[in-house]
Amino acid sequence: MKTILPILLLMVLLAGCSGNNDLSDAYGNFEVNDVMISAEASGKLIIFKPEEGKIMKKGELVAVIDSTDLSLKRKQMKAQLASVSSKIANINAQIDVREQQKKNLTTDKNRVEKLMKDGAATQKQMDDITGQLDVVEKEISSVKTQKTSVQAEMQALRAQIAQVEESISKCVIKNPLKGVVLDKYAEPFEITSFGKPLYKIANLDEMTLRVYVSGAQLPGIKIGQEVEVLVDQYEDQLRKLTGKITWISETAEFTPKIIQTREERVNLVYAVKIRVKNDGSLKIGMPGEVNFKQLN
């Protein structure tokens, strides 16, 4: 009888241990694809709205950087453009005058040619008129060159103005995607600079469960495959969700310390990402499990 009791106790313990065996194929944690929003201009943050945990809409105004200096620079450039533009009218007037001179000389030349046929004009008269025409044509060409130079200067000023206006537009920062603010790195009225991070945001409507599998499990999974995802619901219960494999690593890595695989003897594993729709209960860093069996 004394021998039977220890055997029965051992059987109960073994049964209890077998009941706790892992049934899931892989384990990991939930993560998101966060986006770091940075400043594209330098200056004082006169408006800054992001708050950690706040849900922000796509296109929502989140920050305004002081653009006073840029606005003054644009005003100065527009004044320069107006001044340069006024030269065009003067140049066009000069061209018109010389074109009229050319027209008059051409008429005189035709008249002299007729007179020469009748012997009433000399070759010198023809040479003088021809010389005057050559001078006027060269003057017209010179004035037109000046006009081209002024037009190029105006084009350069317009490009500079457009560049300044683009910089001014970047002083108004709008949220690029719907999501939750995870972190913020600035406060109103602080001085920011180009490329400085302002806040981090992520869309939590879908989350990614990153798990690790052994090489032996790879043939049984593929991208686009729907799988069963398990997350903690109560102390001793798991809740089932549906996920889809979106990425499988092509290279092996050593098992992360926080992950316990089904086959503990495996040292090298492959990372797998599974996209899961979030009903609001999934959190960043939350553990999850997955079964790779095909779902109907």
In terms of average pLDDT, the best of 25-34, 102-111, 138-147 is 25-34
The percentage of residues in the chain with a pLDDT greater than 70, rounded to a whole number, is 87
Q: For 65-107, what is each residue's pLDDT tens digit?
A: 999 999 999 999 999 999 998 888 888 888 888 889 889 988 8
What is the predicted pLDDT for the residue at 8? 36
**Whether residues 27 and 98 fall in one domain:** no
Give, as one character, the DSSP assignment of residue 145.
H
Spatial separation of the C-alpha atoms in residues 206 and 157, rounded to whole Å: 48
**In this structure, is residue 274 part of a structural domain?**
yes
User: Where residue 81 sits, what CATH number does that domain have?
Assistant: 1.10.287
Q: How far apart are CA 56 and CA 179, in angstroms?
A: 6
- For residue range 178-216, list pLDDT tens digits in order: 999 999 999 999 999 999 999 999 999 999 999 999 888
Q: Does some domain include residue 213?
A: yes
CA distance 22 to 6: 27
Kindly indicate the confidence band of residue 5, based on its pLDDT and cuts at 50, 70 and 90: very low
Same domain, 161 and 208: no
Mean pLDDT, rounded, for 20-48: 88
pLDDT value at residue 267? 67
- What the block records as the tokens of 37 is 């929003």
Q: Give CA torsion, residues 138, 141, 142, 148, to 10 deg.
A: 180
Domain encompassing residue 285: 23-33+203-291
Does the structure show a pLDDT above 90 at 228? yes
Which of 153, 169, 185 is the endpoint of a domain?
Answer: 169
- Domain assignment present for residue 219? The answer is yes
pLDDT at 26 over 50: yes
The confidence score (pLDDT) of residue 10 equals: 33
Q: Is residue 165 part of a domain?
A: yes
The mean pLDDT value of the chain amounts to: 86
Question: Using an 8 Å Cβ cutoff, are 170 and 193 in contact?
Answer: no
Look at residues 121, 143, 169 and tell me which one is the last residue of a structural domain.
Answer: 169
Q: How far apart are CA 259 and CA 233, in angstroms?
A: 20
Residue 174 lies in a domain: no
Residues 132 and 207 in one domain: no
Judgement on whether residues 121 and 207 belong to the same structural domain of the protein: no
Q: What is the CA radius of gyration of the chain?
A: 40
Element (H, E) at 243: strand 237-248
Domains identified in the chain, total number: 2
Q: Indicate which CATH number applies to the domain containing 271.
A: 2.40.30.170
Residue 27 and residue 86 in one domain: no
Q: Is the residue at 52 inside a domain?
A: no
Higher pLDDT, 272 or 129: 272
Q: Are 165 and 214 contained in the same domain? A: no
Same domain as 209, residue 160: no
> If you average pLDDT over residues 165-183, what whole number do you get?
96
Q: Which long-range contacts (CB under 8 A, 24 or more apart) does 157-164 make?
A: 157/77, 157/80, 157/81, 157/84, 158/81, 160/77, 161/74, 161/77, 161/78, 161/81, 164/70, 164/73, 164/74, 164/77
| Residue 227, burial from CB neighbour count under 10 angstroms (0-12, 13-18, 19+) | buried
Residue 276 lies in a domain: yes
Cα separation, 275 vs 203, in Å, equals 13
Closest alpha carbon to 203 in 77, 35, 84, 38? 35
Q: Which of 43-47, 115-119, 192-196 has the lowest mean pLDDT?
A: 115-119
Q: How confident is the model at residue 1 (pLDDT cuts 50, 70, 90)?
A: very low
Q: Look at residue 217 and tell me if it is in a domain.
A: yes
Query: Which pLDDT score is estimated for 89?
Result: 84
Q: Number of C-alpha atoms within 13 angstroms, CB side, residue 228?
A: 13
Does the structure show a pLDDT above 50 at 7? no
Is residue 153 pLDDT above 70, yes or no?
A: yes
Report the pLDDT value the prediction gives residue 259, as an integer from 0 to 100: 54
Q: Are residues 164 and 210 in the same domain?
A: no
| Residues 234 and 151 both lie in one domain | no
User: At residue 2, does pLDDT exceed 50?
Assistant: no
